[in-house]
Structure 1
Amino acid sequence: MIKINISKAKREEVEEKHYQYFKDNFLDKLISLSKVEDSFRDFYRFLLLNIEQIITGRPKELNDVIIKIDNGFPYLSSLFKKGTRQRSGHEKKLINKLNLKNIFNYDAFLKPDPPDWGAYQLTKNLNVNICPYCNRQYIVTYHSEEKKVIRPQLDHFFAKSIYPYLALSLYNLIPSCNICNSRLKRDTEFEYKKYIHPYEEGFGDSMKFSVKIREEKDINNYNDLKYLDFFFGESDEFDIKFKAGKEVNNEFIKKAENNIKVFKLEELYDFHKDNVAELIKKNMIYNKDRIKELYQNFNQLFNSKDDIVRMIVSNYITEDNLDKRVLAKLTKDICEELNLFDYT
């Protein structure tokens, strides 16, 4: 999992546009409802009082809103957290009467061609091209002349089925791939303190890919295995796992493990063992002397030896560039663990 990197200037620009979109389209509805004399008036007034925080607040601020609603409106909170099938007929009528789907109208936000702002404009401005949850899929945004839209799916970190008042919250909309959003996470209830939020952090060096060579008891034909095959990139008798970095607190480890479990990262990355094998073979071909030779002979093409390594592995291997190409974190972590392409 990688962090979504946005510059301060771009973040402020997106926040301003997103909040303006809400004010132009839905704020009047909330104001009108907050004046109605019924049992929901206090709830509407709470939403109105905290609306800017709800729409553009950072993940922790959104979690604070959830806590305030849990404490201040426990009946409504419990009602939201009930599944549709669990709600009685009376409870379903109450949910419909609340009209939150019209106040925080996510379906309208998804329309391909709104005048100034919507899902397409958001993902285009964020420029997130790799799924932050898995780092395995491209999620580019493209708008053709025929006005057909290609864009990432938007995952609600706090599920909109449970927290309908966060359906349009900027930092609750995570650009992601179809597999992570629709096939794996779906309506899983993510809690702020139990899962890593990609707008705040990624795995970084705190949780890294690691190679685990299988033990004898895990291999069917152990007698046929040559121990050195792995180090020549000729064996697939290993698994790709995660390991915690040094001096990582238990809270982070538990959160990372929850993300790994929900998005099936170890299971899915086991399909990329060939990438590890290729890295090992390339390391044998492009040893320290070969990298030095390339740098000397083609210095007009490369600004540094890091650029040569990036060409060799066909990927980025620095933390601040992991969002530019799929499998970049796997490449970086395995190169570091196996000490590949050491040109120092």
Structure 2
Amino acid sequence: MIKVPTKFSPEFIEEYYNIVSDMVFLNKINEYNDETAEYREFKYYLSQNFLKIITASFNELLDVLTEVNNLYPIISECYNPQKFFKGTDLNEISSILEIMSIHLRGDANLNRICALKSDAINEISIVNRRLQSHYVDFYISELNNSNDAHSIKSCCKKIYTTLNDGNIDLEVAPEWVRQLKNIMSYESIPSEVLRKVGDELALDYCPMCNESQVGNITDENRVYRQALDHFLPKSKYPIFSLSIYNLIPCCNTCNSLFKRDKDTLSPPHANPYIQGSDEHVIFDIEALALAMLYKKESGSRVRFIATNTNVDNNIKLFKLLGGYNKRETKRQILRIMSLFNSYYAKWNATMTYEEFLVDIVDYDSSKLPYEIIYGKFKMDLLDFMEKVNR
């Protein structure tokens, strides 16, 4: 929700790159031997583009993603199959659908399935000329070699579930593709390096909810590092598991409870390094103000105003409507509004507006929203109150 305009220092980026580069090329790749031509080609591509993959801005990573999808579609197919197969027209495989609908009982049915095999192969082959799917190609070969109705129907079911549901069997994938999670292993990054990610950005409040504090916690014996969300989830985009601008410091609730491994490209969401709600009014302050004015408790629900598709998708993903209507959170929001009413009604005679904002509301206009609890709400409220009382 909140844009994070801070960037990593060149010194830290160099340190981070050197550590993950050694980890991948001196350890992970050396531990894994694969002599297939496809893997050797991918390893060369990785070596030539590793600096970009690890240190580039998020928009540049999207360019890399397009390139990787074009060169190695098997990666997208294995790790994000629902997106890979999305939009496939099942009407193009009518023979496969018919085979699946036929019961495996009676000679007439069994013969009908076998008779439809040739049409099924032709139809799915035409579909796969466009898809270039490793899995579909594998199942076409399996279907070609099937000579009885049971095997033919089984192959057709596999093809259907692959195209319709994105259900795949990772064991059918090339070994080097299955090893990607291990080669680009986020879990292998030393904890002290990940702690420095948070220290470099030094956020005070979660850029997603703008409510929970973030940051590393130090006690006498150890440092507990803050959560780092993979904006492009590593389960679906393993090649970006180590990319520094794919790591978003956030609170545990936003990371583990709401975001999890949701694909933020389908539909598109706002990456805080690129885009935030800062340039939009997102809170419906007028509705809240009217509810307070007429003491309508039922109308005092916090609402959001539709603004930008990407930002709106973040609001939905991180359940901000429910979060800002929690009893305690809403109580704090209504208290802040009440303070503004009190200032304009009586306190402005005894203190300046700037003193009121800093001392009473805990809002310093020189700070960014992620440095202030409910910073974005306070920003929208401040703008509304100034217009009303101008």
TM-score by length of 2: 0.69
CA deviations 1:122-154 (Å, max 9, x no partner) are 21222122111110110121233312x322211
Select the residue among 242, 256, 259 that pairs with 1:168. Answer: 242
1:123 aligns with 2:198: yes
Cα distance in structure 2, aligned partners of 1:308 and 1:280: 13
In the alignment, is the contact (CA less than 8 A) between 1:276 and 1:334 conserved in 2?
no
Shift of 1:262: 0.8
Name 1:59's counterpart in structure 2. 58
Structure whose alpha-carbon radius of gyration is higher = 2
Name 1:45's counterpart in structure 2. 44
Superposed counterparts of 1:3-152, under 5 Å? 3-6=3-6, 10-29=8-27, 32=30, 37-38=35-36, 39-82=38-81, 86-88=167-169, 90-91=171-172, 94=174, 98-109=178-189, 111-112=190-191, 117-147=192-222, 149-152=223-226
Name 2:318's counterpart in structure 1. 263
Give structure 1 stretches of 5+ with no counterpart: 215-226, 246-252, 296-304
Shift of 1:331: 1.7
CA deviations 1:217-271 (Å, max 9, x no partner) are xxxxxxxxxx9761277745222222256xxxxxxx1111111111111121122
Name 2:280's counterpart in structure 1. 206
SS at match of 2:284: strand
CA deviations 1:49-87 (Å, max 9, x no partner) are 11001001110111111111111111232112138x933
| Structure having the larger proportion of residues in helix | 2
Cα distance in structure 2, aligned partners of 1:59 and 1:164: 15
Cα distance in structure 2, aligned partners of 1:288 and 1:5: 37
Select the residue among 310, 331, 334 that pairs with 2:381. Answer: 334
Cα distance in structure 1, aligned partners of 2:264 and 2:374: 25
Name 1:237's counterpart in structure 2. 299
Cα distance in structure 1, aligned partners of 2:72 and 2:202: 37
The percent identity for this pair of structures is 26
Cα distance in structure 2, aligned partners of 1:131 and 1:207: 19
Name 1:314's counterpart in structure 2. 362
CA deviations 1:178-235 (Å, max 9, x no partner) are 1111111111111188111101121013242113649xxxxxxxxxxxx976127774
Change (3 A) 1:129 1:52: same
Shift of 1:36: 5.5
1:195 aligns with 2:266: no
1:276 aligns with 2:333: yes
Moved more, 70-79 or 179-188: 70-79
Change (3 A) 1:229 1:178: closer
